[in-house]
Amino acid sequence: MFLKISTLLLIPSLVVQGYSVKKYTPRLEEASGHRQGTIGKGTALSILILGDSAAAGVGVKDQQDALLGSILNELKHDFEIHYQLEAKTGDTTLQVLERTKQLKNQHFDIVITSVGVNDVTKLISPQKWIQQQQQFYIEIESKFSPTMLILTGVPPMHLFPALPNPLGWLLGQYSTAMNKQLSQFVNTKPRYQLIQFDLAHFKALNLQMAEDGFHPSKEIYQLWAKEVSQAILQNFNK
| Residue range 27-42: mean pLDDT, rounded | 96
- Closest among 160, 140, 159 to 148, alpha carbons compared: 140
CA distance 194 to 223: 15
- Does the pLDDT value for residue 222 go beyond 90? yes
Rounded Cα gap, residues 87 and 222, in angstroms: 18
Q: What is the pLDDT of residues 73-94, one digit of tens each?
A: 999 999 999 999 999 999 999 9
In the chain, the percentage of residues whose pLDDT exceeds 90 is 78
Number of domains in the chain: 1
One-letter amino acid at 94 equals: L
- Calpha distance 42→161 (Å, rounded): 41
Per this entry, what is the length of the chain?
A: 238
Q: What is the pLDDT of residues 199-219, one digit of tens each?
A: 888 888 888 899 998 999 999
Q: What is the mean pLDDT of the chain?
A: 93
pLDDT at 33 over 80: yes
What's at 183, amino acid-wise? S
In angstroms and rounded to an integer, the radius of gyration of the C-alpha atoms of the chain is 17
- The strand pairing partners of 79, in sequence order, are 43
Residue 19 in this model has a pLDDT that exceeds 80: no
22 or 67: which carries more pLDDT confidence?
Answer: 67
Give the integer Cα–Cα distance in Å for 157 and 169. 8
Strands (E) in 118-206, as ranges, are 148-152, 192-195
Contacts of range 192-196, beta carbons closer than 8 Å, 24 or more positions apart: 192/137, 192/148, 192/149, 192/150, 192/151, 193/148, 193/149, 193/150, 193/151, 193/231, 193/235, 194/151, 194/152, 194/153, 195/150, 195/151, 195/152, 195/153, 195/224, 195/227, 195/228, 195/231, 196/152, 196/153
Using CA atoms, how far residue 150 sits from 26, 41, 170, 213, 219, in Å, is: 30, 23, 27, 25, 20
pLDDT one-digit tens code per residue, 127-184:
999 999 999 999 999 999 999 999 999 999 999 999 999 999 999 999 999 999 999 9
Percent of the chain with pLDDT over 70: 99
Confidence of residue 22 (pLDDT cuts 50, 70, 90): confident
34 contact partners, CB below 8 Å, separation of at least 6:
63
81 contacts 47 by C-beta, under 8 angstroms? yes
* CATH value at residue 39: 3.40.50.1110
For the whole model, what pTM was predicted? Answer: 0.93
Which domain, by its residues, includes 10?
2-235
**What's the pLDDT band for 238 if we cut at 50, 70, 90?**
low
| Backbone φ, ψ for residue 111 (5° rounding) | -115, 125
